[in-house]
Amino acid sequence: MAVELQYCLTVPPGDPQQRPVRFIGKLRCLKDLKWLQISDYLSPRVDQQTWFAALESVEKNTTVSLWLSNAIVSALPFKVSRHNSPGRPHALSRTVNTLKLHDHPEYAFIIACERSEAYSLGCAVARCYPRYNKSTTGSVKNINVQVGFIFVGDDTRPLTDQERQALSETGEGIRLTQYIVDAPCSEMHTDGFLEQIKEVGAKLGLTPFVIRGENLREKGFGGIYGVGQGASRPPALAVLSHCPPGATKTIAWVGKGIVFDTGGTCLKTRLSMLGMKRDCGGAAAILGGFYAAVKLGFSENLHAVFCLAENSIGPLATRPDDVHTLYSGKTVEINNTDAEGRLVLGDGVVYASKDLKADIVVDMATLTGAQGIATGKYHGAILSNDEGIEGHCSIAGRASGDLAFPVPFSPELHFSEFNSVLADMKNSVQDRSNAQVSCAGLFIFSHLGFDFPGTWLHIDMAAPVSSGERATGYGVALLATLFGSLSSNPLLKSIAPAISMSSKAVDEHTVTKKRKIET
C-alpha cells in the first residue's frame, strides 16, 4: 500500500461514504468550529445535532464515531507541560495511527488548531505514513490522504499557499528520512544511501561531492575509513552544497550514516543488533532536512555532510587496540569498535570546519543508547559550546514536535574519560556511569578543538529515531525550524527562534584555561 500525502489549502467537500473523514484537535478547538465550516465534509451522513452530541461525549472518550468508521472525531489532550510541544503532535500521531486505512482510495483529515500549532501537527501526520513497505497484502494499493486545517483563536485566516508549501516540503523530507531508516542494509547500504543523496541533489539542481574507499584513507579520513574498512561496500564522505547569491555565512549539518552496525569486532548480541539499520538516522535526517530547507528558500550557505559506512566484521575490520589518525590529525586508540559513530563524525565536523569554512557546525546522530536513558524516547539530547543555540534548539523542538533537551557541557569534568597512554585519546569512556551522552558528544567536539571559535551543536537522537518498528523521521522538522529564520517561508520564520549568525566567543572554561597557560 502506497500513501500519497496531500496538504490542502481547503480539502474538497465529500460524502463520508465515499471518502472517510477524521476531525482531530483539542476539544476547545473542536468546539470552536462552526457547523457551516464542517457540514460539507459530513453531509448527508451526519447532521448538526449528531456533531454537537459527539463533542459532548468526546470529553469522556478520546475518539467518537459519527457515522460507522467513516466519520470520526478525536480530541487531543489539552494539558501540556513546558517541555512538551503545545499542539501535542505526539498524541496526534498516536491517534492517527489507530485510524487504519482500509479499502477507500481517499481519506480526509481536518485538523482544528491555532495557527502556531499547524506546523508541528502537520509534521505529525507525515510521520504516520512511512513509505517503505514490502507487504503484498491489502486490496487498495494507492491511497490519497488529504490534510486540511481550520484555524481557531486570534488568527482564523485559511491556510496560505506558502504555509501549505512548508508543510508539503517538510513532510516530503520526513518521509524520505523514514524510508532511508526503515530500509534494510541489503538495500540501503552505502551505495544505496549515495543514490538517495544523488536523487535529492538532482531535485535541487545540485551535484554531490564524494570521497570514498581508499581515497578516504589517502586524504586522512581515518575515522570514516577505519569504521568502514571491513565492509564489502566502501565507506564514503558525501557533501551536498547550497550556495545562494548574497550569502555571507556558512552552516554545515553533519550526519552519522552507519548503514548497519554489527558492533564490529566487538560484536553486538543478537537482540541488540536488531534494528541497527537505523544507525544511519542522523544522516537520513540531515538529507531530509536539507531537502526541505533548500526547497523553502534557505538564504545562507548550507552544506549537508554525510559520513557513510557499514560497521561490519571481517578480516579487514578494525580491531581493539588499533590506532587511527582522524582528519583532525589527532590519534585515537580503539578500545571499543562499537563506539564507531563518534569516529566518523569526528572526521565530518573537521571537514565542515576546515574545508567548508562553516561558522555553525551541527552534527546529528543515533550516537548512544544512553541518550534514551538521559532524555527519553521523545527528546533528543543536545550538547553545545554555545548556550544560545542550545536554548534555541529546545525552542525549535517544541515548535516542530521534534523535542530536544540539553545535557551538560563540561569538558573539564568529562573528557578525561578518554585518556590514553598510547594516543591522543581512546574512543570509549572508562566510566560508563559518568555522563555517557555528554562524553560521546565531547569526543566529536574535541576534533574541532575545545577552543573552536565557531558554534557547535550536537544532537543525539538514538531513541527518537524510531517508534516501535518504524522510523519517525526525527530531525527534519527540528533542523528546518531551528534555522527557519534563514528561510524565505513565512510559516517557518514565524515559529523559528531568532538564531544569531555572529561568531561565538570561546566558552568560559577555555578562557580560564588560556589565562592559566599565559600566567
Pair 400, 292: CB distance under 8 Å: no
Residues of the chain with pLDDT under 70: 138-140, 502-519
CA distance 321 to 511: 34
Domains 2-159 and 171-457+468-476 share a fold: no
pLDDT of residue 108: 97
HSE at residue 2, side-chain half, CA atoms within 13 A, is 3
DSSP string over 488-503: S-HHHHHHS-----SP
466 beta partners: 471
For the beta carbon of residue 39, count every other beta carbon within 10 angstroms. 15
Q: Which three cell numbers stand for residue 68?
A: 460507522
Distance separating alpha carbons of residues 106 and 102, to the nearest angstrom: 10
C-alpha cell at 175: 518521509
Q: Which residues are catalytic?
A: 268, 342
- Rg over CA atoms, the chain: 24
The residue written with cell numbers 572554561 in the block is 509
Tens-digit pLDDT profile for residues 178-224? 999 999 999 999 999 999 999 999 999 999 999 999 999 999 999 99
Question: Which strand (E) or helix (H) includes residue 40?
Answer: helix 35-42
Q: Are 287 and 304 in contact (CB under 8 A)?
A: yes
3 state SS of 59: coil
pLDDT digits (tens, 9 = 90+) for 105-149: 999 999 999 999 999 999 999 999 999 999 887 655 789 999 999
Write down the number of H helices and E strands in the chain: 19, 19
Up-side HSE of residue 246: CA atoms within 13 Å toward CB? 4
C-alpha cell at 296: 523553502
| Rounded Cα gap, residues 16 and 67, in angstroms | 8
76-83, long-range: CB < 8 A, 24+ apart: 76/24, 76/25, 76/26, 76/27, 77/26, 78/26, 78/27, 78/28, 83/379, 83/398, 83/403, 83/405
- Would you list the domain boundaries of the chain? 2-159, 171-457+468-476
* Residue 290: its H or E element: helix 281-295
- State the cell numbers at 301: 550557505
Contact partners, residue 112, CB within 8 Å, separation at least 6: 23, 24, 25, 26, 29, 30, 32, 33, 149, 150, 152
CA distance 59 to 346: 51
pTM: 0.95
pLDDT, tens only, 384-436: 999 999 999 999 999 999 999 999 999 999 999 999 999 999 999 999 999 99
Q: Three cell numbers at 154?
A: 486570534
For the domain covering 2-159, report its CATH number: 3.40.50.10590
Which residues contact residue 448 at a Cβ distance below 8 angstroms, ignoring those fewer than 6 apart? 328, 349, 350, 353, 361, 454, 456
Phi then psi for residue 463, to 5 deg, are: -85, -45
Which one of 3.10.20.740, 3.40.50.170, 3.40.50.2300, 3.40.630.10 gives the CATH number of domain 171-457+468-476?
Answer: 3.40.630.10
Phi/psi-derived region of residue 133, left when phi > 0, alpha when psi is between -120 and 50, beta in every other case? beta
